[in-house]
Amino acid sequence: MIVYFQNCKGESRKIGAAADCDKAWAIIYKFIEEHNYKPDYVRTWEEDGKHYYDVGSHTEFFYTEEE
């Protein structure tokens, strides 16, 4: 699966590739750590075949899609 970051303008960019959800979380946490961000909460949901990950920003998200 491909892991994407979607910014507050709705623009997405690939940040990694993962074999499973655990690896996707590792990529996401590495990304937020590199940007000195500490999430207040984490929530996930599935929509239109994508798995979304909200790590507390309200306007920026991560999501995964199958290759």
- pLDDT band at residue 46 using 50, 70 and 90 as cut-offs: very high
- Look at residue 25 and give its three-state secondary structure: helix
* Beta strands 61-65; 50-54: pairing state: antiparallel
Question: How far apart (Å, rounded) are the C-alpha atoms in residues 66 and 34?
Answer: 25
User: Dihedrals φ, ψ of 13, to 5°?
Assistant: -145, 145
pLDDT at 57 over 90: no
Beta bridge partners of 14: 4
What pTM, to 2 d.p., does this model score? 0.90
Q: What is the mean pLDDT of residues 2-6?
A: 97
Q: Kindly report, residue by residue over 20-45, the tens digit of the pLDDT.
A: 989 999 999 999 999 999 888 999 99
